[in-house]
A and B are shown apart, each in its own frame.
Chain A
Amino acid sequence: AQSVTQLDSQVPVFEEAPVELRCNYSSSVSVYLFWYVQYPNQGLQLLLKYLSGSTLVKGINGFEAEFNKSQTSFHLRKPSVHISDTAEYFCAGASGGSYIPTFGRGTSLIVHP
């Protein structure tokens, strides 16, 4: 089964600064990767996904991620963050043959004014 590791439990950053949230996955065989965001007291919302094709994936709210097979990574980036980006971010992965994504432990993005 696919597993993902989020390397940072918390990432503090100032408003308008760039940010990168790191995610590594375990298997390179038919891997499907996702980033979800969870705002306080809400469910998870899909930011972006990689299923195949271009390794640079663009999502909602100005976020993007790059699938790197050699590094087994799928890091999430945003060039300029806003206060409203403060939330919990989850990386998730699924492997070929399984339709069930496995989630990482999450990274808390804290944007300071």
Chain B
Amino acid sequence: DAGVTQSPTHLIKTRGQHVTLRCSPISGHKSVSWYQQVLGQGPQFIFQYYEKEERGRGNFPDRFSARQFPNYSSELNVNALLLGDSALYLCASSWGLWSGGTGELFFGEGSRLTVL
């Protein structure tokens, strides 16, 4: 079975531009979460979506937005990019909000964004 897939794997943008990152969850998973991992730090929570509704939002500015589609895939959008947005963006999926009671998240390999 395919795991969580993310695209693109690497991308370079300049300040002020917009970026869209995509995530396909494991088949059967209905929840998708997005995390930002700055070099040398742990993942920071950005958004959680379940059944196409936002169920959690981290402490990120309104430049960050996301959505989940009927097939449970998801997009993360970042507007007006800043140098500090350079990071690895991780998508994680799970069966439900608490993954059927296990709490486990399944992570993709991430999209590495560099802002120049």
Contacts and interface: CB of A to CB of B under 8 A. Distances in A.
Interface of A: 6, 32, 34, 36, 41-46, 49, 51, 90, 92, 94, 98-106
Q: How many interface residues does chain B have, given as a range?
A: 20 to 34
Interface string B84-95: 000000101000
Contact of B109 (A41, A99, A105): A41
B43 A44 contact: yes
A64 B104 CA distance: 17
Contacts of A103: 35, 42-44
Contacts of A45: 107
A55 B100 CA distance: 21
Given A102-B45, A105-B41, 15 more contacts: A6-B42, A34-B103, A36-B107, A43-B92, A43-B108, A44-B43, A45-B107, A51-B103, A98-B56, A99-B48, A99-B98, A101-B105, A103-B35, A103-B42, A106-B42
Given A43-B90, A99-B56, A99-B98, A104 B107 contact: no
B103 A49 contact: yes
B102 A43 contact: no
A97 to B, nearest CB: 11
B42 A90 contact: yes
B102 A51 contact: yes
B12 to A, nearest CB: 17
A110 B102 CA distance: 29
- 4 nearest A-B residue pairs (beta carbon): A43-B107, A103-B42, A44-B107, A99-B97
